Amino acid sequence: MIGGAHGQLLHVDLSTGAIRVETPPEAFYRLLVGGRAVVAYLLLRDLAPGTDPLGPDNLLIFAPGLLQGSNLPGAGRHGVGGKSPLTGALGSSEAGGWWGHEFKRTGYDALIIRGRAPQPVYLWIKDQQVEIRPAEHLWGLETWPAQAALRKELGDDKIRVAQIGPAGENQVLYAAVMHDINRAAGRNGLGAVMGSKNLKAVAVRGTTAVPAVERARVTEVAKWLGANYKTLAAWATAPGRGTQDSLAWWGHLGALPTQNFSVPLWDERDQLSGERNYAMFLKDRDTCQACPITCKQVFQHESANPYQKLNPEYGGPEYEAMGALGAATRIADNLVVCKAGELCNAYGLDVISTGMTIAFAMEAAERGLLTPAETGGLDLRFGNAAVLLPAIDQIARRQGFGAVLADGSARLAARLGPAAAEFDLTVKKQELPMHEPRLKQALGVGYAVAPVGADHMMNMHDTDIAYDGAGVKRVNLVLDPPIGPLKTNDLGPDKLRAFHAELNWMHFQDCALNCHFHPYDYGHLAAALSGVTGVEYSLRDILEVGARAQTLARLFNLREGFTADADRLPQRVMQAFASGPLAGVEINAASFAWAKQRYYELMGWDPETGVPSAAGLRALGLDQLLAETAR
């Protein structure tokens, strides 16, 4: 067996209580590496077509990669997957923290859960000991008290907990799986899958070392990061900085999605800025396993009013939370928006879909498509801070109009009829993240083709290669001829070559798994993976891992009925603003269609249908693995 792998996949059937271990061949690890590629492969192999995402037959997969357990900075992440109840397509999301590292040290490489327990349960995995334990006493608890109760019950403050809150228990279609209380595998509704199985939590504690063949190569990459992160990741390392730090800047560029992506420039954006939040609420800095960067903020605010108190156990909101819960709803009260982010962590909700669904409902109400009687008295107006926290409470508990909002904006749009279609900001029924495709136009193509619906992580950000810096240098490691800096609204041949490389890079990082915010280039992770496994991975080899993940995901989605027609963008974000910094900047429909077809071609898929070709599957070495799925 190659390094970085124990050679064991843990299968648990909650319906029967059966526990078994699978020993995959070496090619499984060498070709797929972990994370999203493993999730997509197992769904193709073990899930029947058309399976109900909230039925007992769906799989819930926890999938670290070969870098977990290596102590490489950035490798604290892991993947979670299944068939998404929000989209019906592949569900694949990642979380940081410590859970993935700790799980890997139990001696297993992935956890595959099927079935439905007759009553609430949790899994307790300590090294090779696996128990299904009752969890009725935990059901209904928010994430912080649930973790505290589990640690007390198990007598170990160092166990790591993956869990759902009330939103997952109530099967909100965009419920998250929470780790270490405030690290969310947020997108695609995998928390609802976990809730449908009556599975409250997976608690892990491991002491098994993860084998690394050439430890010195991993150490060399770690030392490089240690010597360079303070300058190359300065956005995160300076006092009081983190992902929130970019909110005011995107707003200055007219690229902060405001009022459901309808407003070109928002004068109140500075009220939500990272700088203002840090000055008012910053208590501490937090980080993930083996990482020196400490990019996460810990906020605290004391108040007798529970709606105005910020609990540091829940950390603090990231940029996406401030954007979706604040700018998208046009709510400028930063304390309310920070509290909304805290509630999402406590209840186990994806902040993006939560904020964007509320924003959609606000626009529907302002257009007269929703009446106060229909919303149960929720005063859904843009800018109304008083409605945000009660709406989130109702969503998590599926109470009142929250039961409708809990199904997401695409389903609400379908209920409201054709008049709502023009402001339904979803792809494959998943809400757009907080990055403006009119500014970053390849990112817009990435929203359309992402297998999970609109996603900003398995994507390229055009601003990274708009200047002669690290992004251009990174892609030019594999591009021949090399490119120079490209405009953010460019959708030409060079941009698509860079887009193809970067999407494979991002998907590779979600297989290995590594944090996207680390300033590694392709060569760093190729060396680290080679050192861990003892298998020599070239730059092209690691990008092929990402291509396998994309191709397996594509095959799964095609099987579930998703065609090239599903790879689309909402019309609103293709149309130009009449004013503001992006005035007159549109996404040309013909250019977009060409770019999508060119992406298919570069992936080895049919340019019209997006169906992977037999030759492309052979080139990626997937033909033999896929033969196993047909048996």
* Distance from the Cα of residue 220 to its chain's centroid: 29
What's at 219, amino acid-wise?
T
Q: Which pLDDT score is estimated for 630?
A: 64
What SS3 string covers 349-400?
Answer: ECHHHHHHHHHHHHHHHHCCCCCCCCCCCCCCCCCCHHHHHHHHHHHHHCCC
Contacts of 254 (CB under 8 A, 6+ apart): 264, 265, 436, 439, 577, 580, 581, 582
Q: Which pLDDT score is estimated for 615?
A: 95
Structure tokens at 451: 């297998």
Q: What is the rounded CA–CA span in Å between residue 90 and residue 559?
A: 11
Q: Where are the domains of the chain?
A: 9-205, 244-424, 441-517+538-629
Structure tokens at 491: 């959708």
Buried b (16+ CB within 10 A) or exposed e, 216-247: ebbbebbebbeeebeeebeebbeeebbbbbbb
Could you report the average pLDDT of every consecutive run of 10 residues in the chain (631 residues)? 96 98 97 98 98 98 97 96 98 97 98 98 97 98 98 97 98 98 97 98 96 95 95 81 90 96 96 95 94 93 95 96 98 98 98 98 98 95 98 98 98 97 98 98 98 98 96 98 98 98 98 95 98 98 98 98 98 98 97 98 98 96 84 56
Sign of CA dihedral 496, 500, 505, 511: positive
Q: What is the rounded CA–CA span in Å between residue 433 and residue 323?
A: 9
Q: What is the rounded CA–CA span in Å between residue 541 and residue 231?
A: 29
- Judge if the upstream peptide bond of residue 513 is cis by omega within 30 degrees of 0: yes
Q: What is the rounded CA–CA span in Å between residue 294 and residue 237?
A: 7
Q: Which pLDDT score is estimated for 211?
A: 86
Domain 244-424 class, CATH top level: mainly alpha
CATH 3.90.180.10 fits 9-205, yes or no: no
CATH 1.10.599.10 fits 441-517+538-629, yes or no: yes
Cα separation values, 543 from 2, 508, 539, Å: 19, 6, 7
59 touches 95 (CB < 8 A): no
Q: What is the rounded CA–CA span in Å between residue 354 and residue 406?
A: 8
